[in-house]
Structure 1
Amino acid sequence: MKPTLLLLHGALGSPATLEPLAALLAADFTVKSFAFAGHGGRVVDLAAFTLPHYAEEVRAFLKAHETRPAHVFGYSMGGYAALLAAHREPARFASITTLGTKLDWSPESAAAETRLLDPEKMTAKVPAFVEMLRQRHAPADWAAVVHGVASLMTAAGATPPLADADFAALRLPVQVLMGDGDLTPERGNASQLLAEQLPLGRYEVLPNTPHPIERVDIAGLANRIRRFALS
């Protein structure tokens, strides 16, 4: 029986954004995924746009669908939800790999993340991206999803769900991947310092890798997930 690999999408994403990765890993894993609340056509309830709520969705999915610990890959926001879920119930996890996940939250860093999440400005400056969001989240209102994600980031900045000590207490294999095109010096140093507190953690910067999952070397990412999970 193949081990389970749960793929978790990022903010403003959906399971469809991870389908190319799922296809490359299907030979080695039973690959599963789900859409976080408010994403991928699910009903938008602003109260559900929190990292603790998404962590509970991860736990609930694993409890409902898995009898053994599962491997998990989380992209961006999905990676933080996985880590928070594992902090609460580590026995459900065999390993976690994250990519592009912001580990350090503060009011200042949240403000930096949310300053571009303005539907009116997005419509004017990136209309093609807006149309993609419209299709990805239909029949829900894409602008409501954007507002929900901004709310999530603001709340995380005000009260980070994971403290430094929580990372140090997480005793399971965790691979933290960051793209070299996804880093400011401050973000890179903070993420690395937190990742180094993980007792069984590994931190790696991927070359020629920006933040958008659509521009990541998916074959290379699949190889890293496979080697880490099956080692």
Structure 2
Amino acid sequence: MEKPTLLLLHGALGSPETLQPLAKRLAGDFTVKSFAFAGHGGREVDTETFNLPHFAAEVLAFLVEQETAPVHVFGYSMGGYAALLAASQEPKRFASITTLGTKLDWSPESAAAEARLLDPDKMLAKVPAFVEVLRQRHAPADWAAVVRGVASLMAAAGANPPLTATDFAALSVPVQVLMGDGDLTPERGDASRTLAAQLPHGHYAVLPNTPHPIERVDISDLANRVQRFAVAHS
């Protein structure tokens, strides 16, 4: 029997490589696929394509080219939002979506708070080891340009959120919204739970002992949750 497809979508500043541990865990049950969003993983950084609507369009273009049947999707952080935005436009291409650490609510204030952490000069001074990871991950593109691109993306999302509460309420695709307990500022936690409750076929869960970085997530537990939700909606 042919295995169903699972598309893995990385987060901001990430690449498909960051999801390889999860891909390996799920390869026995799914045909696992992935790709790098524009401006990530060595792709050219262009302000015209470095935004959530374009990333959603890339998801749909990938599915049109690669798949004929609805697919299951896991999206980490920004990747989860791109998946939801794509599904709001063409829901029939999605069998299920699981998101982890995805910011569902956007406002100018929340975007500014997130973007404050994305200053290349400050990052060089405070987290040089992480900067080196970014340098290697996005070569030959300039890592600092990627960081500035993400900050610009957040500002645009804050000024004009691509998804509204009405969009969430109209989404027919089964969605599992996962948040780590170490990722739940009061604002993010309350808003995520409220918007997830709007989903007609939504499930919300908080993962224990789980911060935001995908590298520090219990991949075995995450894989089990993704697998169970996908199987339940196959």
Q: Which amino acid aligns with 2:128?
A: P
Q: Which amino acid aligns with 1:216?
A: V
Cα shift readout 1:128-152 (whole Å, capped 9, x = no counterpart):
0000000000000000000000000
Partner of 2:198, secondary structure, is coil
Cα shift readout 1:56-94 (whole Å, capped 9, x = no counterpart):
000000000000000000000000000000000000000
1:86 aligns with 2:80: no
Partner of 1:97, secondary structure, is strand
Q: Which amino acid aligns with 2:136?
A: Q
Cα shift readout 1:98-124 (whole Å, capped 9, x = no counterpart):
000000000000000000100000000
Partner of 1:48, secondary structure, is coil
Give matches, 1:179-190, under 5 Å: 179-190=180-191
Runs of 4+ aligned structure 1 residues displaced above 3 Å come to: none
| TM-score w.r.t. length of structure 2 | 0.98
1:205 aligns with 2:206: yes
Unaligned ranges ≥5, structure 2: none
Question: What's the counterpart of residue 57 of structure 1?
Answer: 58
Question: What's the counterpart of residue 165 of structure 1?
Answer: 166
CA RMSD of aligned residues (A): 0.4
| TM-score w.r.t. length of structure 1 | 1.00
Cα shift readout 1:162-194 (whole Å, capped 9, x = no counterpart):
010000000111000000000111110001000
- Distance in 2 of aligned mates of 1:87 and 1:74: 15
- Distance in 2 of aligned mates of 1:172 and 1:51: 19
Give matches, 1:103-182, under 5 Å: 103-182=104-183
Partner of 1:47, secondary structure, is coil
- Distance in 2 of aligned mates of 1:186 and 1:124: 29
Question: What's the counterpart of residue 36 of structure 1?
Answer: 37
- Distance in 1 of aligned mates of 2:95 and 2:193: 22
Q: Which amino acid aligns with 2:127?
A: V
Give 1:46 deviation, angstroms.
1.5
1:9 aligns with 2:10: yes
Give 1:49 deviation, angstroms.
1.1
Partner of 2:48, secondary structure, is helix
